[in-house]
Copies of this chain bind each other. A is one copy, B any other.
Amino acid sequence: MPTADRRLRPRKRPVQRRAEDTRDRILAAAARVFAARGYAGGTTNHIAAEAGLSVGSLYQYYPNKDALLAELMRAHVAEGAALIARRLAEPPPAAAADDADLAASLRPFVDAAIDNHRADPALHRVLFEEAPRPADVLAELHALEAGAVTAAARLLRAHPQVTAPDPDLAAWFVVATIESLTHRYVGSPARGRLDLDAFGDELVRMLVAYLSSPSR
């Protein structure tokens, strides 16, 4: 059983170039091992071996197994945030009809979600489902989601064809739907019958229909 609460941050700052490489090698190895063997099955000895190092070296840079996991989570979350920021920064394609406009606005969110899952679905699953998530990482995650919901709500308010009476609620639904369905899609047998682009198209279609349906 892992020793629970210690520093989850690296125990030592590398000062030589060599050490920095080592640090990265360990983290990369951890990603591969966790993805392949799961959290419980991915032992620190496996990770060290995969990195071509001894356990001792591993523990010079990471105080315990959970620290490795936390670092991977942080990296993945940061990458996700960067991904969506980049997508949003892209100039939106010229708008045509109203619906097309809304669809174009939603597309960056969908594409970002797809990108974030496509890279390494197995690792993603281990990080955000199987593994125990330390409180601070969970908080970071929720903050990220809250940010996305806020951004989505602002976007919905700016689009006149959005008929949802409560944009905040609708925004939560939009974000949750994108995240959840993408996640489910990549780990589903349905993937065989439907390629990623078609999936994204259909997802956008559903959201547009939901948001611009005649109000009640």
Contacts and interface: CB of A to CB of B under 8 A. Distances in A.
Interface of A: 1, 38, 40-41, 129-130, 132, 142, 169, 172-173, 176-177, 179-181, 183-185, 188-190, 194, 202-203, 205-206, 208-210, 213, 216
Given A180-B181, A180-B184, A202-B169, A132 B209 contact: no
18 contacts: A1-B40, A129-B130, A130-B130, A142-B189, A169-B202, A172-B190, A173-B202, A176-B184, A176-B185, A176-B188, A177-B180, A177-B181, A177-B206, A180-B181, A180-B183, A205-B213, A208-B213, A209-B209
A132 B210 contact: no
Name the residue among A181, A189, A194, A209 with the largest chain B CB count within 10 angstroms: A209
Contacts of A1: 40-41
Contacts of A194: 169, 172
Q: A-side binding surface: helix, strand, loop or mixed?
A: helix
